[in-house]
Amino acid sequence: MSKEKFTIGENIKKYRKKLEISQDALFKKANLVFHTIAKIEIGATPNPTIETVKKIANALNVGVDDLLKE
């Protein structure tokens, strides 16, 4: 997999850790299934839907563009 495919997951993890919240807390806050967050963070789901990215961004109080940056 290319670096690009890991970018979203890496950014989610970075912002989640900055807020000091667990994957468990994030999936609840974003109203998603736990494994969705875990798979995105490890790169197993390299292309999540825009709706999923929006939910995660809102839960992390960041813009979608922040999660897509390299």
- For residue 5, give both structure tokens: 């495919």
Q: Which pLDDT value is given to residue 6?
A: 59
Per-residue confidence in pLDDT tens, the chain, 70 aa: 444 455 899 999 999 999 999 999 999 999 999 999 999 999 999 899 999 999 999 999 999 999 998 8
CA distance 52 to 11: 14
What's the domain range around 41?
A: 1-47
- For residue 19, give both structure tokens: 């807020």
59 occurs within a structural domain: no
28 occurs within a structural domain: yes
What residue spans of the chain are helical by DSSP H? Answer: 3-18, 23-30, 34-42, 50-60, 64-68
Please state at what angle helix 23-30 crosses helix 3-18, rounded to 10 degrees. Answer: 90
69 occurs within a structural domain: no
Give the number of domains in the chain. 1
38 occurs within a structural domain: yes
20 occurs within a structural domain: yes
- Read off the pTM: 0.88
